[in-house]
């Protein structure tokens, strides 16, 4: 199945900011609250989302970007902590203008081509579909089970929301009141527990 439903697209934001973190709200909007790399939605993440520099700020403990380009919106990615930490300052080409070569390196997650590197199994696991995708998969540690769990919770949430709407629309004559009340209580409890994930 498709790795993700939509490719995030950055708006053309050129305003000068004091620090790249000043772009957090805009990135949250443009990436629709999802990690650009693994597509996990921030709702189920315990750790806060971060901002990754697609082209790293530092390489081999030396500045790789200028102060000006460090705040350039077009180089920023809304990222979960896991992907941001895994990517770190990896940049195999050692050239800012070469994102990947010889099937090593990265593709900007705002490019449609990024979607072609991966697929999702029915259980939510991410799998690479190209040689470059395999390199990115290992570099970002997309094999971590957290991606499968978060995807599964999101899918279950969508199904439960649909079922709850259907149940609310069924009269008590068509569905025994006791069954209806039990199911609605179950759904309410499910959402209560999942909402607590953010407080753990």
Question: Which comes out higher in pLDDT, residue 56 or 58?
Answer: 56
Q: Name, in order, each residue with C-beta under 8 angstroms of 95's C-beta and a sequence gap of 6 or more.
A: none
Question: How does DSSP assign 152-196, residue by residue?
Answer: HHHHHHHHHHHHHHHHHTS-TTTS-HHHHHHHHHHHHHHHHHHHH
Question: Which comes out higher in pLDDT, residue 151 or 68?
Answer: 151
The predicted model gives 94-114 an average pLDDT of: 96
CA nearest to 45, candidates 78, 77, 94, 10: 78
Tokens of 115: 């979607």
Residue 48 confidence (pLDDT) above 50? yes
Look over the chain and give the mean of its residue pLDDT values, rounded to a whole number.
Answer: 87
Domain parsing of the chain, residue ranges: 20-145, 148-199
- Give per-residue pLDDT as tens, 5-47: 899 999 999 988 889 999 999 999 999 999 999 999 988 776 6
The predicted model gives 58-80 an average pLDDT of: 83
């Amino acid at each position: 199945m498709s790795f993700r439903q939509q490719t995030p697209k950055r708006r053309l934001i050129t305003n000068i900011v004091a620090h790249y973190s000043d772009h957090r709200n805009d990135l949250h909007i443009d990436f629709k609250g999802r990690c650009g790399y693994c597509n996990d939605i921030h709702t189920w993440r315990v750790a806060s989302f971060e901002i990754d520099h697609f082209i790293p700020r530092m390489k081999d403990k030396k500045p790789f970007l200028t102060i000006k380009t460090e705040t350039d919106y077009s180089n920023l990615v809304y990222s979960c902590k896991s992907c941001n930490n895994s990517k770190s300052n990896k940049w195999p080409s050692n050239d800012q203008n070469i994102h990947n070569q010889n099937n090593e390196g990265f593709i900007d997650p705002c490019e449609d081509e990024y979607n072609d590197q991966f697929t999702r199994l029915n259980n939510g696991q991410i799998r690479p579909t190209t040689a470059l995708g395999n390199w990115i998969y290992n570099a970002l540690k997309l094999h971590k089970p957290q991606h499968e769990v978060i995807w599964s919770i999101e899918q279950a949430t969508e199904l439960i929301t649909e079922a709850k709407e259907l149940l609310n629309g069924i009269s008590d004559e068509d569905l025994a009141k006791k069954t209806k009340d039990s199911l609605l209580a179950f759904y309410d409890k499910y959402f209560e527990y999942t909402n607590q994930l953010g407080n753990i």
